[in-house]
Amino acid sequence: MEHDSARSGRIRVGIDTGGTFTDVVALDERSGRLVTTKTPSTPANPADGFMAGIDKVLGLLGVPAGDGSVLAAVSHGTTVATNQLLEGKVDRLGFVTTEGYEAMLEIARQSVPDGYGNSYFWVKPDRIVPRDLVRGVGGRLDFTGAEVRPFDEDGARAVARWFRDRGITTLGVCFLHAYANPEHEERMRAVLAEEHPDAVVSLSSEVLREYREYERAMTTLVDAAVKPRLSAYVSNITSRLTAYAERPIPFYVMKSNGGVLSADEVVHQPITTVLSGPAAGALGAALIARVAGFDKVLTSDGGGTSTDVSVVIDGEPTLTTEGSVGAFPSKIPMIDVVTVGAGGGSIAWLSPEGTLKVGPQSAGADPGPLCYARGGTDVTITDAHVVLGRIPPHLLGGEIPLDVDAARRGVEELAARLGLTPEACATGVLEISAWNQANALRQVTVKRGLDVRDFTLTTFGGSGSLLLCRLVDVLGLPAVLVPPDPGNVSAFGLLTVDVKNDYVQTHVALADALDPAVVSGIVDDLTARAAAALVGEGFAPEQHQFARTADLRYFGQAFEVRVPVPDGLVDAAALAEVAERFHAEHRRLYGYDFAGDPDQQVEWVNVRVSGIGPIQRPEIRRHPVGDGSPPTVRSRRPVCFDADAGYVDTPVLWRPDLAPGTVVTGPAVIEEFGSTVPLHPGFTARVDELLNIIVTPDPRSQA
């Protein structure tokens, strides 16, 4: 019956490709049935794991193997661009800029990690484009977009031929003040098309139409750097999906801003995917927590390589345009995610001083931890968990057996070098990892003026829930929510995401001198561009939604605060309301404002419009509360929660057996297909009617 309903092409699939596993969720839109699964990632060719995941999840819905006709759409979170930047694998790039500004990347910004006090000998990292691959072209615009000097056509042709003759086929173009007028950049692209037709070109006026030349140039160059690899990857997936379904099907890629974009368009905006996977996880967790009744939430997505954390307030993850990936700043709208190298594959190692360190290096999926028995040589966080009995001797419900003895030998060897017992060594590895994660959570809360103790933590990902009890202790959290199928929350998030495009235009002007007609014209232009993009994505005009914001600051400040612009007519009253919102938001963020001070003027900097095409979200169903009978104990095993206390006989529960209303008191281990929750002594877990596990500390044990 399920297959009959699916054959009309009503199954939507979300796929999140991680470093170790590919997570897959499928929604049958007719029956509302939601199924999840995981399959090993294939780093040599991620498309193989992608297609294997589709076949596997459709099989769970009763679809015959290889029958892709049931697919309605596929949404994908990819780490292709992220990993390329994190690993620094940037191929030779060329940079074309305004004549006289060839040293822009060297000058950069006066920013020193950790301040000058700890960085006397800090040297700026290598530029994304070496100085010898930068060329200037004559011509000049002023900040209003007016032409000061004409574009040097002959010089542009000479530059295009210079790059062509040296085989540089990926180029970024960033001319001074192109945010105000793209004409010179567009003429440069036309010249390149004639003289160097093989070149892949990114224009700053299309990538980031706002001021600050260095950030705009870097963002444009990052876009150019990831464009060839991401385009090849997306094209490969698209062709394989078409062959699998025997027809073209909608294929969307997750963007860093919390929306998705069609594969056809994403190849023209590759930089928008640099935080594709983490963004999907934050959105999925945000929806789950909001339905469960939590309005202040921290999300923690633990994978094989890293843990990604973010803040969600009133169901909306915090956005930023001041993000970076690795050493590369990318000034595009992205969900404010902090990443720490504390995943299941993070390696434990000794510093030259002989102290124990964990991460950021990772054993990844291949060779992986020692317990994977694939040739790994280093102790990892997963090895520590399996030696202590906190995870079972297998993964994915038994699909992947683990070599516990190999992990134990590795831990014993590391412990001997430290002069510790194996249990103390393994718990030490996990303690360091927990503090690394706690510091990341402080970074998105305390450093932003938020009290971490006001938030409920939502943990997900394959390794995200393994240290939740220690995080409660370290941070003083009131509760932790573990969603059903936590290993697949990122893939689930892909099914909850609207199509979203962001457009920005710099317009620097004091609020008192602002002309409402000019602002209205900018808003209308950005809205028209957003609407055209939504039509291209297949959304009828009556479905279009638009979110309008502006970046404001007090005159003389270096950075801005983003506030909403009211819907409707942009007149003097609307501009005054934006200013009031700015004062209030500045006060919330920094504790003060200058409202009512005639000597401190408000300055507008950027106007932004996001075009949103809404999609049907899966329903999170409620379930009847059980009779309160104690859960069935599937098995028991020795588990070490504290090195001094040693191993204790611990009940092992199977999460699908836990009905809503079930209460479990630690010590216990709650296992499911793709994740495990070790419940330490002194903690209680309750299953709510949405099948979430809510973990809270026992007040008596915390006293």
| Single-letter amino acid code for the residue at 166 | R
Confidence check: pLDDT of 530 > 50? yes
- Do 73 and 93 lie in one domain? The reply is no
Which residue among 202, 229, 256 closes a domain?
Answer: 229
Measured CA angle at 549 (ends 545, 550), to 5 deg: 155
Identify the band that residue 388 occupies on the pLDDT scale cut at 50, 70 and 90: very high
The predicted structure's pLDDT at residue 86 = 65
Which residue among 257, 273, 289 closes a domain?
Answer: 273
CATH of the domain at 72: 3.30.420.40
The predicted structure's pLDDT at residue 205 = 92
How distant, in Å, are the alpha carbons of 517, 521, 524, 575, 576 from that of 579?
A: 17, 19, 20, 6, 5
Contact (CB, 8 A) for 358 and 381: yes
Identify the band that residue 695 occupies on the pLDDT scale cut at 50, 70 and 90: very high
Burial class (CB in 10 A: 0-12, 13-18, 19+), 200: middle
- Do 155 and 125 lie in one domain? The reply is yes
> What distance, in Å, lies between the first and last C-alpha atoms of the chain?
55
- Name the maximum alpha-carbon separation found in the chain: 83
Q: Is residue 693 part of a domain?
A: no
The predicted structure's pLDDT at residue 701 = 57
| Single-letter amino acid code for the residue at 87 | E
- Do 260 and 147 lie in one domain? The reply is no
Total residues found in the chain within this entry? 703
The predicted structure's pLDDT at residue 702 = 52
The predicted structure's pLDDT at residue 6 = 37
Helical axes 468-475 vs 422-443, angle rounded to 10° = 60
**Highest-scoring range by mean pLDDT, 7-16, 69-78, 662-671:** 662-671
Identify the band that residue 7 occupies on the pLDDT scale cut at 50, 70 and 90: very low
How distant, in Å, are the alpha carbons of 287, 415, 579, 603, 604 from that of 555?
A: 38, 58, 13, 6, 9
88 compared with 233, residue with greater pLDDT: 233
Name the token pair of 478. Answer: 């009131």
The average pLDDT across 378-405 equals: 87
How distant, in Å, are the alpha carbons of 20, 538, 660, 672 from that of 635?
A: 28, 52, 21, 13
Q: Give residue-wise pLDDT tens across range 335-382.
A: 888 877 777 888 899 988 888 988 887 776 668 888 888 888 899 999
Helical axes 422-443 vs 404-418, angle rounded to 10° = 90
Q: Give residue-wise pLDDT tens across range 251-290.
A: 998 888 888 888 888 888 888 888 887 888 888 999 999 9
Q: Which domain holds residue 212?
A: 86-229
Which residues partner with 136 through β-bridges? Answer: 97
Which residue among 613, 636, 668 closes a domain?
Answer: 613
- Do 504 and 602 lie in one domain? The reply is yes
CA–CA distance, 456 with 478 (Å, rounded to integer) = 6
Measured CA angle at 396 (ends 488, 405), to 5 deg: 135
How distant, in Å, are the alpha carbons of 17, 85, 187, 357, 602 from that of 78?
A: 6, 13, 33, 29, 40
DSSP 155-218: HHHHHHHHHHHTT--EEEEE-TTTTT--HHHHHHHHHHHHH-TT-EEEEHHHH--SS-HHHHHH
Long-range contacts of residues 468-472, Cβ cutoff 8 Å, at least 24 apart: 468/677, 468/695, 469/666, 469/678, 469/679, 469/680, 469/683, 469/695, 470/430, 470/431, 470/434, 470/680, 471/300, 471/434, 471/437, 471/438, 471/441, 472/683, 472/695, 472/697
**Among the listed residues 198, 216, 201, the one whose alpha carbon sits nearest the alpha carbon of residue 93:** 201
CATH of the domain at 141: 3.40.50
Q: Which residues contact 421 (CB under 8 A, 6 or more apart)?
A: 415, 643
- Do 221 and 268 lie in one domain? The reply is no
Q: Which residues contact 405 (CB under 8 A, 6 or more apart)?
A: none
Least confident of 23-37, 321-335, 376-390: 321-335
- Do 67 and 139 lie in one domain? The reply is no
Name the token pair of 423. Answer: 């249990």
Q: Give residue-wise pLDDT tens across range 402-436.
A: 899 999 999 999 999 999 999 999 999 999 999 99
Q: Is residue 554 part of a domain?
A: yes
Which residues partner with 252 through β-bridges? Answer: 75, 262
- Do 237 and 175 lie in one domain? The reply is no
Number of domain units in the chain: 3
Q: Give residue-wise pLDDT tens across range 121-132.
A: 566 667 888 889
Percent of the chain predicted with pLDDT > 90: 48
Identify the band that residue 319 occupies on the pLDDT scale cut at 50, 70 and 90: confident
- Do 74 and 29 lie in one domain? The reply is yes
The predicted structure's pLDDT at residue 703 = 47
| Single-letter amino acid code for the residue at 25 | V
The predicted structure's pLDDT at residue 664 = 94
If you compute the radius of gyration of the chain from its CA atoms, what whole number of angstroms results? Answer: 26
Q: Which helix (H) or strand (E) holds 387?
A: helix 381-387
Q: Is residue 186 part of a domain?
A: yes
Q: Is residue 633 part of a domain?
A: no
The 3-state secondary structure of 266-324, one letter per residue:
HCCCHHHHCCHHHHHHHHHHHHHHHHCCCCEEEEEEECCCCEEEEEEECCEECEECCCE
The average pLDDT across 188-211 equals: 93
Q: Is residue 668 part of a domain?
A: no
Q: Is residue 116 part of a domain?
A: yes
Q: Is residue 680 part of a domain?
A: no
| Single-letter amino acid code for the residue at 288 | I
How distant, in Å, are the alpha carbons of 160, 161, 172, 228 from that of 166?
A: 10, 9, 16, 18
The predicted structure's pLDDT at residue 18 = 74
The average pLDDT across 597-611 equals: 91
Q: Give residue-wise pLDDT tens across range 438-488.
A: 998 998 888 878 899 999 999 998 888 999 999 999 999 999 999 998 888
- Do 106 and 174 lie in one domain? The reply is yes
The average pLDDT across 126-139 equals: 90
The predicted structure's pLDDT at residue 666 = 82
CA–CA distance, 583 with 596 (Å, rounded to integer) = 10
Q: Is residue 442 part of a domain?
A: no
Confidence check: pLDDT of 153 > 50? yes
Confidence check: pLDDT of 3 > 50? no
Backbone angles phi, psi at 323, to 5 degrees: -85, 175
The DSSP bridge pattern shows strands 319-320 and 561-564 to be: unpaired
The predicted structure's pLDDT at residue 259 = 83
CA–CA distance, 272 with 107 (Å, rounded to integer) = 26
- Do 108 and 216 lie in one domain? The reply is yes
- Do 96 and 47 lie in one domain? The reply is no
Question: How much is the pTM?
Answer: 0.80
How distant, in Å, are the alpha carbons of 347, 667, 681, 686, 697 from that of 651?
A: 29, 8, 12, 16, 19
- Cis previous bond, 660, omega within 30: no
CATH of the domain at 531: 3.30.1490
CB atoms within 10 A of CB 598: 7
The DSSP bridge pattern shows strands 338-340 and 307-313 to be: antiparallel
The average pLDDT across 82-95 equals: 78
3-state class (DSSP) for residue 700: helix
CA–CA distance, 462 with 544 (Å, rounded to integer) = 36
The predicted structure's pLDDT at residue 463 = 86
The DSSP bridge pattern shows strands 480-482 and 456-460 to be: parallel
Percent of the chain predicted with pLDDT > 70: 94
Identify the band that residue 385 occupies on the pLDDT scale cut at 50, 70 and 90: very high
| Single-letter amino acid code for the residue at 169 | T
The predicted structure's pLDDT at residue 598 = 85
- Do 214 and 90 lie in one domain? The reply is yes
Name the token pair of 683. Answer: 């903690």
The predicted structure's pLDDT at residue 425 = 95
Backbone angles phi, psi at 377, to 5 degrees: -120, 0
DSSP 658-673: --TT-EEESSEEEE-S
Confidence check: pLDDT of 498 > 90? no
